[in-house]
Amino acid sequence: MKSFLISDNVDTFLALKLAGIEGIYIKNVNEVEKEYKKALARDYGIIFITEKIYQAIKEEVIARKTSSKLPLITIIPDRFGFADNKGKITNYIKESIGF
């Protein structure tokens, strides 16, 4: 299964490129939807999307995730982590025990 990255962060893009994952680094927010649709048209099993890219096309991503099993679309943080600190295991634990 092939993987693909759509990133707005050059560090994340280069790190995953070194790991052997194809991808695209997008500087202009206007290109996000076009590149996302191109990635969906190809035969990828997993599409990684950075958090800021996800925020730009949230509705499209949610619609695709609810209507299709493949590709698996995963939102990843950039090197600074998630902007709102969601996704961290400590937050899940705190929420589950009521903190």
pLDDT in tens, 42-72: 889 899 998 888 888 888 888 888 888 888 8
Of 48, 45, 44, nearest to 26 by C-alpha is 48
Of 9, 83, 17, nearest to 50 by C-alpha is 9
Of 19, 15, 91, nearest to 50 by C-alpha is 15
The class of domain 3-97 in CATH terms is: alpha beta
pLDDT in tens, 82-98: 666 555 666 666 667 76
pLDDT in tens, 1-43: 799 999 988 988 998 899 999 999 998 888 888 888 898 888 8
The pLDDT value given to residue 24: 92
Q: What is the pTM of this model?
A: 0.76
Domain ranges within the chain, ordered by starting residue: 3-97
